[in-house]
Amino acid sequence: MVTLLLDSTRLEVVLSATERALAFRKGNVIVARDTIAKVQLIDDPWTWLRGIQSPGTRLPGVVAMGTWKSVNGEDFVIVRRRRPGVVIDLEGHPEFQRVVLTTRHGLALVQAFQVDAGEQPADVVDLATGAVPTAPDAEEPAAVEPAHAKPEPAAKPARKPRSTAKPATATKKAAGPKPATA
C-alpha cells in the first residue's frame, strides 16, 4: 500500500520497491499542492482507468500499476483488487493529468488538505488525526499519560452499618402422617 506524505507545498506518493518495479518507476510521485484541482473518494478505482498502460503492469481485477496514456493525457495509477480509493485531478502538473490510488486513507487525505501542514512532510493519517503539530509555531502539546498507566480507582462509597437484628426466616410446618381414608 502506498504511503501518502503531505507538507505545505507538496503531496508525495511513496512507493514500495515492489510498487516501483510493477509501475516501472524509479522514484516516488511528487505532486505540488498548487497543481491539485480536485480530490474525489471513490468506491471502485477500476472504473476510473482510461487508456492503456505504458509503461505499467495490469492484471484485470487484481492489480494495475504505472502510467496510463489516453487522449486526455497521462495518469499515474496504483490500483489493487476491488478496494476503495481516491482520484486526484491535476492542473498544470508536468507529468500527469490525474493520480488514481487504492488507499484506505482517502478520507484522511481529504481532511489533511484542509489542515495547514507544516514544512516537514507528514503522513496524511497523522495530519488528519492531529497527531502531528501542523503550524510551524504551534505550542507543545499538553503532557499525555502513557497508554499503559492505569487510572486511579474512584473513591468507594461509605459502608452502611450492619443491622444487629436477624432477618425473619420462613419455617415450614413439619408434615405429619397423612390420615388414612376409607
Mean pLDDT, consecutive 10-residue segments, the chain of 182 residues? 86 93 93 93 92 91 94 94 92 94 88 73 74 51 44 53 54 56 60
Q: Is the pTM of this model over 0.85?
A: no
Domain parsing of the chain, residue ranges: 3-129
- pLDDT of res. 173: 53
Question: How much is the pLDDT for 28?
Answer: 93
pLDDT of residue 147: 44
129: left (phi over 0), alpha (psi -120 to 50) or beta: alpha
22 close to 66: Cβ distance less than 8 angstroms: yes
At 155 the pLDDT is 54
